[in-house]
Amino acid sequence: MPTIAFLGTGLMGAPMAVHLLKAGHKVLCFNRTKAKTQAVVEAGGIACDSPSEAAREADIIITMVTDGPDVEQVLFGINGALGSAPPGTFVIDMSTISPALTRDMALRAQERGFRYLDAPVTGGQIGAQNATLSIMVGGEQSLFEEARLILETMSAKITYCGPIGSGQSVKLCNQICGAMNLLGVCEALTLGRKMGIDPNAIVEVISAGAGSSWAMQNLAPKINAGDFTPGFMIDTQQKDMRLVAQAAEETQTALPGAMLATQLWRSAQAHGCGEEGIQAMAKVLFQMAELSSTSPSEATSEPKTP
Amino acid sequence: MPTIAFLGTGLMGAPMAVHLLKAGHKVLCFNRTKAKTQAVVEAGGIACDSPSEAAREADIIITMVTDGPDVEQVLFGINGALGSAPPGTFVIDMSTISPALTRDMALRAQERGFRYLDAPVTGGQIGAQNATLSIMVGGEQSLFEEARLILETMSAKITYCGPIGSGQSVKLCNQICGAMNLLGVCEALTLGRKMGIDPNAIVEVISAGAGSSWAMQNLAPKINAGDFTPGFMIDTQQKDMRLVAQAAEETQTALPGAMLATQLWRSAQAHGCGEEGIQAMAKVLFQMAELSSTSPSEATSEPKTP
């Protein structure tokens, strides 16, 4: 069974690495903040002090870090994984980064004899924990077929999207939808409260009809419960939306909705919510509408009928 | 079994009336354009020349028309249903209209001895055809319990939302979500095509993850197939978004996303797409990005990699 170097054991990476351990893989992991390897170590993983140390005997290197420069650092930097990994080692980058940087790094890795796929994920922390992530893969199709078995350990659905970088391109499209859906949820909950409607009724009804979304089903109940802990952090979403904006600029694509959403979440950052979950956007809209509270008990008693 | 006067047999109303017939009800129907009663007549319904004629022996009057003034017309106007209906007749308005006008008409109907509920629906034409609509009900809870059996004939989910008008209030929140979700879908498909990605891969991936929505699952495949026939017409959506804007103004609620979406669909109207389905918004965004075609074969061959 292939030995895996898992680089980046944060909100998403840690539960993904645990699924690989449960499937019987040997997993050596690295995280900049070592404390975040704890869940992986408790599940039988080995925490290493550098990407280089983790990759020394790896058959597969999986990267799950925040941004492009982080991937570059753990692969190509000082004590980077590619300095120690055996030639032929498989590199699967599951982070969300720029399609252009992906193509560049894949080329550099291939020149040194490594095999490379981009395989970003969607499904949130919930998906990572339940191994129900959807994975979108870019790269040579034969490599995709080889990697499928490993990816299946962490996911419910794997889709081949095209040549290297295509997984990242599809991921950017996904981030547009995630942002727009959640902005709709936040505006609906705001207007509903202002009209004196029980916010739980809104979630119940809309989840069952043509206005439904993953965001309504999974994040709206958290908003109603006043739970803004991160499954997906606003700071990370802002990084993703910057990648969307770059891709839109490169391709001369006008994205009025996505860019408005980006600006509104930037306001959430300004409110000090950067390390909260993206559902904390609701707090910005509630404040814009002079709704003072977000807890469900207050939500049902406070608003006035128009 | 109660006799039903069904007023308004359009895209949504006709399949709903057919379900009532199939359940064994006698259904007398009326539609301004009589040709649109055909499907109901073929299923055993009786087409009438006026709401008054349809309501003469009704136990329940169901209205499923376009806007508030239409409901007012078929109930209170010349040859309106309430002129002939027996006292005590149940009026269930399933149209999407203003919560304020709903409260007003309910009061007037109650003063004349009628029982009144607002019960707008979501789920689209697909939901109407498959009896999987989600119905949101406002009015006295005891009346809601009485009406439940009839509503179940047309729906998969019925939610009591509060006093009269509350169904309409929740419906407006739903329309915000429907618009935002679909705008996200259209922007994602536009950026994806500009990046050279197979649009079907985008639908497949995003439908399975945290960016998923009813719009992605049901309308994006239509966009990729170049099918802009209406399940929900843009002209009707613009009427709904006007109601959203009114409610937002009455309650002093800022809805930046919903209002941007409204403006963009207004552009689709200007493009001559008012009687097409709301998914025709994609054509506006494609044109903004200088993508000339919407059919899937061209979509996969035309775009360039950035």
Give the up-direction half-sphere exposure of residue A236: CA atoms within 13 A in the CB hemisphere.
23
Strands A60-63 and B27-30 come out as unpaired
Residue B74 and residue B178 share a domain: no
Asked if A167 contacts A244 with a C-beta cutoff of 8 angstroms, the reply is no
| DSSP SS3 for B205 | helix
Q: Do A177 and B195 touch (CB under 8 A)?
A: no
Tens of pLDDT, residues B260-288: 999 999 999 999 999 999 999 999 999 99
Please indicate, yes or no, if residue B306 is contained in any of the structural domains.
Answer: no
Residue A152 and residue A283 share a domain: no
Please indicate, yes or no, if residue B198 is contained in any of the structural domains.
Answer: yes
Q: Which residues of A23-54 are buried (b: 16+ CB within 10 A; e: fewer)?
A: bebbbbbbbeeeebbeebbebebebbebbbbb
Rounded distance between C-alpha atoms, residue A14 and residue A37, angstroms: 7
Q: Give the confidence band of B97 by pLDDT, cuts at 50, 70, 90.
A: very high
Residue B193 and residue B178 share a domain: yes
The Cα of B256 is separated from the nearest Cα of chain A by a number of Å equal to 8
- pLDDT more than 70, % of chain B: 95
Q: Name the pTM for this structure.
A: 0.90
User: Rounded to 10 degrees, what is the CA torsion of A67, A73, A75, A77?
Assistant: 170
Rounded distance between C-alpha atoms, residue A257 and residue B260, angstroms: 7
The Cα of A139 is separated from the nearest Cα of chain B by a number of Å equal to 13
Residue B148 and residue B175 share a domain: no
Give the up-direction half-sphere exposure of residue A219: CA atoms within 13 A in the CB hemisphere.
34
CATH code at B23?
A: 3.40.50.720
Give the up-direction half-sphere exposure of residue A49: CA atoms within 13 A in the CB hemisphere.
0
Asked if B122 contacts B174 with a C-beta cutoff of 8 angstroms, the reply is yes
From chain B, the residues in CB contact with A215 under 8 A are 210, 213
**How close are the terminal C-alpha atoms of chain B, in Å?**
64
B-interface mutation test, from A136, A174, A233, A288, most B Cβ less than 10 A away: A174
Mean pLDDT score of chain B: 94
Asked if A241 contacts A175 with a C-beta cutoff of 8 angstroms, the reply is yes
Rounded distance between C-alpha atoms, residue A57 and residue A178, angstroms: 38
Residue A180 and residue A36 share a domain: no
Residue B190 and residue B159 share a domain: no
Residue B64 and residue B134 share a domain: yes
CATH code at B270?
A: 1.10.1040.10
Please indicate, yes or no, if residue B292 is contained in any of the structural domains.
Answer: yes
Q: Do A181 and B134 touch (CB under 8 A)?
A: no
What is the pLDDT tens value at each position of chain A, 306 positions in all?
Answer: 999 999 999 999 999 999 999 999 999 999 999 999 999 999 999 999 999 999 999 999 999 999 999 999 999 999 999 999 999 999 999 999 999 999 999 999 999 999 999 999 998 888 999 999 999 999 999 999 999 999 999 999 999 999 999 999 999 999 999 999 999 999 999 999 999 999 999 999 999 889 999 999 999 999 999 999 999 999 999 999 999 999 999 999 999 999 999 999 999 999 999 999 999 999 999 999 988 655 444 444 444 444
Residue B245 and residue B174 share a domain: yes
Which residues form the domain of B272? 169-300
Q: Give the confidence band of B103 by pLDDT, cuts at 50, 70, 90.
A: very high
Tens of pLDDT, residues B202-242: 999 999 889 999 999 999 999 999 999 999 999 999 999 99
**Is residue B35 packed enough to be buried (19+ CB in 10 Å), middle (13-18) or exposed (0-12)?**
exposed
Q: Return phi, psi of residue A143, to 5°.
A: -65, -40
Catalytic residue among A36, A171, A283, A304: A171
Residue B275 and residue B233 share a domain: yes
Rounded distance between C-alpha atoms, residue A95 and residue A162, angstroms: 17
User: How high is the pLDDT of residue B292?
Assistant: 66
Please indicate, yes or no, if residue B44 is contained in any of the structural domains.
Answer: yes
Tens of pLDDT, residues B140-157: 999 999 999 999 999 999
Task: Count Cβ atoms below 10 Å from residue B38 Cβ, excluding itself.
Answer: 14
From chain A, the residues in CB contact with B166 under 8 A are 197, 201
Largest CA distance in chain A: 68
Of the three residues A163, A189, A207, the one that is the final residue of a domain is A163
From chain B, the residues in CB contact with A264 under 8 A are 256-257
Q: Do A172 and B191 touch (CB under 8 A)?
A: yes
Overall domain count for chain A: 2
User: How high is the pLDDT of residue B293?
Assistant: 55
User: How high is the pLDDT of residue B185?
Assistant: 98
Residue A39 and residue A57 share a domain: yes
User: How high is the pLDDT of residue A142?
Assistant: 97
From chain B, the residues in CB contact with A122 under 8 A are 205-206, 208-211
User: How high is the pLDDT of residue B247?
Assistant: 97
Please indicate, yes or no, if residue B80 is contained in any of the structural domains.
Answer: yes
Residue B265 and residue B148 share a domain: no
Rounded distance between C-alpha atoms, residue B101 and residue A92, angstroms: 58
**Is residue B155 packed enough to be buried (19+ CB in 10 Å), middle (13-18) or exposed (0-12)?**
buried
Residue A171 falls in the annotated catalytic set: yes
Q: Which of A80, A135, A86 is nearest to A115 (CA)?
A: A86
Catalytic residue among B22, B157, B171, B304: B171
Tens of pLDDT, residues B181-198: 999 999 999 999 999 999
User: How high is the pLDDT of residue A305?
Assistant: 44
Size (chain A), residues: 306
User: How high is the pLDDT of residue B79?
Assistant: 97
Residue A270 and residue A188 share a domain: yes
Q: Give the confidence band of B297 by pLDDT, cuts at 50, 70, 90.
A: very low
Rounded distance between C-alpha atoms, residue A225 and residue B187, angstroms: 31
**For residue B295, pLDDT beyond 60:** no
Q: Return phi, psi of residue B50, to 5°.
A: -155, 160
A-interface mutation test, from B195, B218, B250, B305, most A Cβ less than 10 A away: B195
Can you spell out the DSSP letters for A72-136? HHHHHSTT-GGGTSPTT-EEEE-S---HHHHHHHHHHHHHTT-EEEE--EESHHHHHHHT-EEEE
Please indicate, yes or no, if residue B305 is contained in any of the structural domains.
Answer: no
Q: Which two tokens stand for residue A169?
A: 């391109």
Asked if A265 contacts A234 with a C-beta cutoff of 8 angstroms, the reply is yes
User: How high is the pLDDT of residue A124?
Assistant: 85
User: How high is the pLDDT of residue A24?
Assistant: 97
